[in-house]
Amino acid sequence: MTVPQSSLFAAKAKHLGKSARSRARLIDAALAVFAREGLEAASVNEITREAEMANGTFYLHFKDKDELTSVVALSVAAEIVHEMDEAMADIDDAIERVSLGTRQFIHIASERLNWGWAFCQAFWVLPELRKEAGQYLRRDLERGVAQGVFSIRVDDFLVEMVSSLVNVALFARMNGTAGAEAGSKAAEMQLRMLGVDPDRAKQAAWRAS
Amino acid sequence: MTVPQSSLFAAKAKHLGKSARSRARLIDAALAVFAREGLEAASVNEITREAEMANGTFYLHFKDKDELTSVVALSVAAEIVHEMDEAMADIDDAIERVSLGTRQFIHIASERLNWGWAFCQAFWVLPELRKEAGQYLRRDLERGVAQGVFSIRVDDFLVEMVSSLVNVALFARMNGTAGAEAGSKAAEMQLRMLGVDPDRAKQAAWRAS
Amino acid sequence: MTVPQSSLFAAKAKHLGKSARSRARLIDAALAVFAREGLEAASVNEITREAEMANGTFYLHFKDKDELTSVVALSVAAEIVHEMDEAMADIDDAIERVSLGTRQFIHIASERLNWGWAFCQAFWVLPELRKEAGQYLRRDLERGVAQGVFSIRVDDFLVEMVSSLVNVALFARMNGTAGAEAGSKAAEMQLRMLGVDPDRAKQAAWRAS
Amino acid sequence: MTVPQSSLFAAKAKHLGKSARSRARLIDAALAVFAREGLEAASVNEITREAEMANGTFYLHFKDKDELTSVVALSVAAEIVHEMDEAMADIDDAIERVSLGTRQFIHIASERLNWGWAFCQAFWVLPELRKEAGQYLRRDLERGVAQGVFSIRVDDFLVEMVSSLVNVALFARMNGTAGAEAGSKAAEMQLRMLGVDPDRAKQAAWRAS
DNA sequence: CATGAATGAGGCTTCATTCAT
DNA sequence: TATGAATGAAGCCTCATTCAT
């Protein structure tokens, strides 16, 4: 049984208190409106309308529009990370992890259209989101160095470059520049960037997961 | 003798008609405000105040805030491209061109602070700007393939990834994540991505220009 | 007990919801401002000031200044029609109806000064209002033809001429060209125009109602 | 040889000084813009653009936008009156004069589309124009009373009603409610209103002129 | 918790008018 | 006379936020 993609947070909050459910509905609504109108153009009124609430209710759950934006973005990120972790729990090889991680991320985010758009837009606006994404990635990058398969120095700049690359690939996937292969392509490029041998990079990036 | 960085367009328009001069002042003012407040947050009122004009004057020179945004971004891009072309006119080797181009671009844009910020912000908002940047880059990518030094297929996705990478590096340079070496680092990563041998990539990316 | 003429709609809305009351206040305020400044010159700011509201409140109740104009004019028309219908419910004779209708209309509209001005001004600007007025009049014109007392063909042109005549008479009444007798004079002219014998026309137009 | 309808005043000013010619061009341009956009919506900038002049030039010829409006309306009225006088110079019979006058007026004004629209719109806005029209009409009304063919008292109210009627008929002609017969229909109604016997009214109104 | 009316600052844009050339 | 750039007041409308119920 699947839940309509537009209310995943509401679905998860079904068993929580009423307040949490309203909050979740607002997050889902915000995702829909962000996708439709863009982060800046989305108005509180439109979000509450989408959530079928009175506009005043918004401020019971969020201090601010900014808080909402940030909560939405981090919630999406957390959820995606959660799903990725499940899929990659028992993978050790850094090359595999980077490759699979990138592909999974793009797959998950682009499938839930609203999430994909929200992520793309929020990424350049919310430093916290970039930091979050960076921290996650960094672990695998460092693992790769430790395993001796990445010949590059891991610093903030590298992390920012690599995580941005993923975001850019997601963006290309969303707006049609790339098709389903976006993940593999991006992964291949990343691996090369990290110093992995081109052949091995290709292999890892395109292997059926 | 240098001109204050905040009025480069005005300086170039000094000997043009009055209208062109005012227009240039508006562009410079917009660059300053964009850098200070961000693309979306910048208001026409603030821009005209920065330009020391009456707000109505704005609409003598631009139909719209959108038109201004686009003109500003493309003007900056054109100017940067112009300067880059001068610096790279007689370079044939694609590896050199990509390496030098990236470094030059980041150098030029980050030096004029306002330009750098404007570019970073506009990049994700204006498809025209991305297209422009992509077209420029593509020529060198194809050249590299023709010269047999890049082992990758040049398509829209690749172009978008590579040009985004440059933009991301500029961003990192602007916000302090990276220092003066940002250009070289980015160039090195790019070259690896394009399939250039890591040693040669490092060489090309870090060679004093 | 009478209500101050400048808040008749507010008075009628006294026992409705808060929103309806505010809306009514805006309509009354608009009528006042229209009378003072004219339809086109009236600004939303001035209307809300007259209604003692914040300007933004306006847009909670009306999409547009245009929507307001149209609502105001049609509300006034509807109210006048309502009062006229009450006064003429049991009159069958078309001559009487036209005569009395014209006189009543001018009487009612000119007594509530704001209504009179609003009607005069809106009449030439809002086709909907002319159509409304025309439809109302047409029934009596056709009745007169059926009763054999009007010797004229009823078509759009005739309807427009006759209803305009009433409006013009109201205008003359409002601006002082005519006094209380405007209604009777106009009615007499109308009846002559419709082919009623001059003596009978005079009789019907000046009979005490 | 005919002159394009859109520059009749310019044509008449051909032999006058340069200033008069510019002024005439502005009047023609204003007529065109008034017809296109309406009296209030017409901007000085658009009028000068239509006249192919710089906007500043406008104020060399007119103190004000209001002055222009008034000059335009009165010029049109004067010109129409002039043409009517020519056509009716040797007609004595008041019934003929009223009938022919109305028909002529509507014919002339509706043929020059711009004039027709300008007149219609200006009529309700400019008291001077109504006064002008009234004075012209009044003479014939009084003549009719003197000749014993109009059985009605000539006062300001009557004059306003009758002249408005002509304007309303012109309006109906312009917006398509009535066709070429508008003049005759209006004339017939007017004559009835003035107390002329219906048969004679019909005869006079529909006689080929 | 929820409602939804109200607020008012602030953004965009137009336009009559002025003024230096 | 003519030009056209510049002005700035004023209009329309949106929107984050508050508050009485």
- D6 band by pLDDT with thresholds 50, 70 and 90: confident
**B195·A198 Cβ contact <8 A:** yes
HSE (CB half, 13 Å, CA atoms) of B171? Answer: 23
B135 Cβ nearer than 7 Å to chain E strand: no
Domain with CATH 1.10.10.60 in chain C: 5-62
- Chains touching chain C through at least 3 C-beta pairs below 8 angstroms are D
CA-to-CA distance for C113 and C115, rounded, in angstroms? 5
- From the alpha carbon of D18, which nucleotide's C1' atom is closest? F1
A44 Cβ nearer than 7 Å to chain F strand: yes
- From the alpha carbon of A18, which nucleotide's C1' atom is closest? E1
- A4 band by pLDDT with thresholds 50, 70 and 90: low
**D193·C195 Cβ contact <8 A:** no
Q: Which residues of B touch A193 (CB under 8 A)?
A: 189, 192-193
Q: Which residues of C touch D151 (CB under 8 A)?
A: 198
As a whole number, mean pLDDT of residues A130-157 equals 96
As a whole number, mean pLDDT of residues D112-133 equals 94
Q: Which residues of D touch C130 (CB under 8 A)?
A: none
Among D157, D178, D192, select the one facing C177 at the smallest CB separation: D157
B64 Cβ nearer than 7 Å to chain E strand: yes
Cβ atoms of B118 and B31 within 8 Å: the answer is: yes
Largest distance between two CA atoms of chain B: 57
- Which residues 17-76 on A are within 7 A of strand E at the CB atom? 17-20, 22, 53-57, 60-61
Strand E nucleotides, any atom under 7 Å from protein beta carbons: they are 1-20
Tell me the CA–C1' distance in angstroms for D5 and E20: 38
C39 three-class SS: coil
What pLDDT shows up at residue B3?
Answer: 46
Q: Is A138 on the interface with B (CB under 8 A)?
A: no
**C151·D198 Cβ contact <8 A:** yes
What is the topology classification, in CATH, of domain A5-62?
A: Arc Repressor Mutant, subunit A (1.10.10)
Among A157, A168, A193, select the one facing B160 at the smallest CB separation: A168
Q: Count interface pairs A-B at CB distance under 8 A.
A: 64
Q: Is D70 on the interface with C (CB under 8 A)?
A: no
**C169·D161 Cβ contact <8 A:** yes
Q: Which residues of B touch A198 (CB under 8 A)?
A: 151, 195
What pLDDT shows up at residue D197?
Answer: 94
**C164·D160 Cβ contact <8 A:** no
Q: Is A169 on the interface with B (CB under 8 A)?
A: yes
What pLDDT shows up at residue A18?
Answer: 85
Whether residue D51 is predicted with pLDDT greater than 80 in this model: the reply is yes
Residues 6+ apart with CB under 8 A from A78: none
For chain D, give the percent of residues with pLDDT over 70: 97
The position carrying tokens 């003798």 is B1
B75 Cβ nearer than 7 Å to chain F strand: no
- Which residues 48-67 on C are within 7 A of strand F at the CB atom? 55-56, 58-59, 64-65
Q: Which residues of C touch D177 (CB under 8 A)?
A: 156-157, 160
Closest of C17, C20, C123 to residue C69, by C-alpha:
C123
Q: Is C37 on the interface with D (CB under 8 A)?
A: no
Please give the CATH architecture assigned to the domain spanning B74-205: Orthogonal Bundle (1.10)
| Nucleotide E8, nearest residue via CA and C1' | C54
- Chains touching chain B through at least 3 C-beta pairs below 8 angstroms are A
Tens digit of each residue's pLDDT (9 = 90 or more) over C171-190: 999 999 999 999 999 999 99
CA-to-CA distance for A162 and A101, rounded, in angstroms? 12
CA-to-CA distance for D153 and C191, rounded, in angstroms? 16
Tell me the CA–C1' distance in angstroms for C38 and E8: 26
Mean pLDDT is lowest, of A178-182, B5-9, B66-70, for B5-9
What pLDDT shows up at residue D2?
Answer: 42
Task: To the nearest 10°, report the CA torsion of D168, D174, D176, D178.
Answer: 50
Q: Which residues of B touch A169 (CB under 8 A)?
A: 157, 161
What pLDDT shows up at residue A1?
Answer: 39
Whether residue B36 is predicted with pLDDT greater than 90 in this model: the reply is yes
Q: Is B201 on the interface with A (CB under 8 A)?
A: no
| Nucleotide E14, nearest residue via CA and C1' | B56
Tens digit of each residue's pLDDT (9 = 90 or more) over A89-100: 999 999 999 999
Closest of D92, D98, D95, D90 to residue D199, by C-alpha:
D95
What pLDDT shows up at residue A40?
Answer: 93
CA-to-CA distance for C48 and D174, rounded, in angstroms? 37
Q: Count interface pairs C-D at CB distance under 8 A.
A: 62
- B7 band by pLDDT with thresholds 50, 70 and 90: confident
- E strand segments, chain C: none
**D198·C193 Cβ contact <8 A:** no
For chain A, give the percent of residues with pLDDT over 90: 89
Q: Which residues of C touch D172 (CB under 8 A)?
A: 157, 160-161
Domain with CATH 1.10.357.10 in chain C: 74-205
D55 Cβ nearer than 7 Å to chain E strand: yes
Strand F nucleotides, any atom under 7 Å from protein beta carbons: they are 1-20
Q: Could you tell me the CA-to-CA distances from B103 to A124, B52, B167, D102 in Å, in that order?
A: 22, 35, 11, 82
- The answer to whether A and B touch (≥3 CB pairs < 8 Å) is yes
Tens digit of each residue's pLDDT (9 = 90 or more) over A40-77: 999 999 999 999 999 999 999 999 999 999 999 999 99
Q: Which residues of C touch D165 (CB under 8 A)?
A: 161, 164-165, 168
Cβ atoms of B59 and B104 within 8 Å: the answer is: no
Q: Is A156 on the interface with B (CB under 8 A)?
A: yes
Interaxial angle between packed helices B182-193 and B156-174, expressed in degrees from 0 to 180 and rounded to the nearest 10: 160
What pLDDT shows up at residue B14?
Answer: 87
| Nucleotide F15, nearest residue via CA and C1' | A43
Residues 6+ apart with CB under 8 A from D49: D55
Cβ atoms of B193 and B113 within 8 Å: the answer is: no
- Neighbouring C-beta atoms of residue B195, cutoff 10 Å: 17
Q: Is C164 on the interface with D (CB under 8 A)?
A: yes
Residue-averaged pLDDT of chain A:
94
Tell me the CA–C1' distance in angstroms for B125 and E8: 31
Q: Is A177 on the interface with B (CB under 8 A)?
A: yes
DSSP, res B178: S
Tens digit of each residue's pLDDT (9 = 90 or more) over D75-89: 999 999 999 999 999
Tell me the CA–C1' distance in angstroms for B51 and F7: 14
Q: Is D128 on the interface with C (CB under 8 A)?
A: no
Q: Which residues of chain C have pLDDT under 50?
A: 1-3
CA-to-CA distance for D5 and C174, rounded, in angstroms? 38
- The answer to whether D and C touch (≥3 CB pairs < 8 Å) is yes
| Nucleotide F5, nearest residue via CA and C1' | B19
| Nucleotide F1, nearest residue via CA and C1' | D19
Phi, psi of A90 (to 5 degrees): -105, 25
- From the alpha carbon of B60, which nucleotide's C1' atom is closest? F5
Q: Which residues of A touch B178 (CB under 8 A)?
A: 156-157
**C157·D172 Cβ contact <8 A:** yes
What pLDDT shows up at residue C183?
Answer: 97
Whether residue D137 is predicted with pLDDT greater than 90 in this model: the reply is yes
C49 Cβ nearer than 7 Å to chain E strand: no
Tokens representing D108? 């002339």
As a whole number, mean pLDDT of residues A96-115 equals 95
CA-to-CA distance for D163 and D178, rounded, in angstroms? 18
- D4 band by pLDDT with thresholds 50, 70 and 90: low
